[in-house]
C-alpha cells in the first residue's frame, strides 16, 4: 500500500480491481479544508480517461508494472511480435494493446512495453519517429507561402497532414503522441 504522496505521472494504481495509469496529478492545498490530490487517470486496458480526487494521506494500492525495452519485429497477421533486447525472447502483443502505436512503428524500431504479471499493458514509443512519405498529391507551384496542409500517407500506411510543398519520398519527423508533422529530415 502507498499513500497519495506517492502519486506521480506513470504510476499504475489498482482501483476496484482495474489498473489505472496516472496521466496528470496536482497536489492541492486550499486555504480552507484538507489538502487533496487531483488526478487524471487512464484505464490501462480500455483507454478510458477519468478525473479522480483523493484526500491527502489516503491509502492507494499501486500495481507492480515492469517496463522493458523491446524491438518491434513483425506483424504475423493478428498479433504484433516484439523481441526482448536483453533475453532475445519473443513477445506477441494483440492489436488492442498496441493501439495507435501501430501507426508509427517500423520493423526493428525500439519500443518500451509495460508488463503487469507478464501480461502486456501498453506499448510506449519514442516521442517522435522518422517516416518516409509513400504517397501524396503533388503541391501546386506558388503554393509555398500559404501555410496550408495536405494529406500524406507514410510508410506504415497511416495518413498525416503535411505542408503543401512536401513530395513523395521525403522523410519527415512525426510526433507519436499526436500524429503531428514536426519537420523534414535530410538524409
User: Same structural domain for residues 95 and 108?
Assistant: yes
CATH number for the domain spanning 160: value is 2.40.50.140
- Percentage of the chain beyond pLDDT 70 is 95
Q: HSE of 23 in the Cβ direction (CA atoms, 13 Å)?
A: 12
The residue count for the chain: 187
Torsion of CA 154, 159, 160, 163, to 10 degrees: 70
CATH number for the domain spanning 48: value is 2.30.30.30
Query: How many structural domains are present in the chain?
Result: 3
Interatomic CA distance for residues 133 and 136, integer angstroms: 7
Determine how many CB atoms are found less than 10 A away from the CB of residue 187: 4
Q: Which of 55, 51, 45, 87 is nearest to 70 (CA)?
A: 87
Specify the DSSP element, H or E, that contains 123.
strand 119-124
End position of a domain, from candidates 60, 82, 99: 60
Interatomic CA distance for residues 20 and 47, integer angstroms: 9
Q: Which of 120, 103, 23 is nearest to 68 (CA)?
A: 120
| pLDDT digits 0-9 by tens, 80-91 | 999 999 999 999
- The grid coordinates of residue 177 equal 503522441
Domain holding 30, by residue range, is: 2-60
- The confidence score (pLDDT) of residue 156 equals 92
Phi-psi category of 37—alpha, beta or left, where left has phi over 0 and alpha has psi -120 to 50? beta
- For 109-134, what is the mean pLDDT? 89
pTM (two decimals): 0.73
User: Same structural domain for residues 51 and 95?
Assistant: no
End position of a domain, from candidates 103, 124, 145: 124
Check residues 157 and 44 and name the one with the higher pLDDT: 157
Amino acid at each position: 500500500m502507498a499513500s497519495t504522496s506517492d502519486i506521480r505521472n506513470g504510476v499504475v494504481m489498482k482501483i476496484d480491481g482495474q489498473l489505472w495509469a496516472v496521466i496528470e496529478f496536482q497536489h492541492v492545498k486550499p486555504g480552507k479544508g484538507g489538502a487533496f490530490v487531483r488526478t487524471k487517470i487512464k484505464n490501462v486496458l480500455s483507454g478510458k480517461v477519468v478525473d479522480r480526487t483523493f484526500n491527502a494521506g489516503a491509502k492507494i494500492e499501486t500495481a507492480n508494472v515492469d517496463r522493458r525495452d523491446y524491438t518491434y519485429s513483425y506483424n504475423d497477421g493478428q498479433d504484433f511480435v516484439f523481441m526482448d533486447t536483453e533475453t532475445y525472447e519473443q513477445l506477441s502483443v494483440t492489436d488492442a494493446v498496441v493501439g495507435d502505436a501501430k501507426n508509427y512503428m517500423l520493423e526493428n524500431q525500439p519500443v518500451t512495453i509495460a508488463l503487469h504479471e507478464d501480461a502486456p499493458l501498453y506499448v510506449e514509443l519514442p516521442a517522435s519517429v522518422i517516416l518516409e512519405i509513400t504517397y501524396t498529391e503533388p503541391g501546386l507551384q506558388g503554393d509555398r507561402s500559404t501555410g496550408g496542409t495536405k494529406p500524406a500517407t507514410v510508410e506504415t500506411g497511416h495518413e498525416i497532414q503535411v505542408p503543401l510543398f512536401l513530395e513523395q519520398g521525403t522523410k519527415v519527423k512525426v510526433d507519436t503522441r499526436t500524429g503531428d508533422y514536426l519537420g523534414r529530415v535530410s538524409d
